[in-house]
Amino acid sequence: RDALGRRLMLSECEVRGDALVHGKLSAFAKRTKKLPISCTFQWIRLLPSGQEYPLPGQDKATYTVAAQDLGCRLKVTVLPTSKDTNESGQPVTAVSAPVEGGA
C-alpha cells in the first residue's frame, strides 16, 4: 500500500505506438493479481521545460497525437478501481518518446 493506503493493482505501465503527429498511442499496464478492475486514464503533455499540462477530455486508453504535442513527451496516468469493492488502487504512469512530425 502507498502513503494513502491504496493497494498496488497495476504494474509495468507503458505507452505503445508511434510518437508522431496524428499517430496513436496506447496505455498498457499489467494487473498484479487477477482482480476485476476498471481503469481511468489521463493523458498529459510534458513540455521540454518540464511543465505538465493535463489534456482535457483525453481520458481513454488510446490518444491521437496532436500537432500541439510536437517536441513534447506524452505521459499517461492510469488509476485502477476494484470492481468488487470500488476501492481505488495506486496510480501508475508511463511516458512516451518525444513527439516527432508525422508523414
**Structural domains of the chain in order of their starting residue, each with its CATH number:** 10-95 (2.60.40.2700)
pLDDT tens column, 17-76: 999 999 999 999 988 888 899 999 999 999 999 999 999 999 999 999 999 999 999 999
Beta-bridged to residue 94, according to DSSP, are 76
What do you get for the CA distance between the two ends of the chain, in Å?
Answer: 44
Going 53 to 54 to 55 to 60, the CA torsion angle's sign is positive
pTM of the model: 0.89
pLDDT-derived band at 2 (thresholds 50, 70, 90) equals: confident
Q: In this predicted structure, what is the pLDDT of residue 35?
A: 82
Pairing of strands 37-46, 73-82: antiparallel
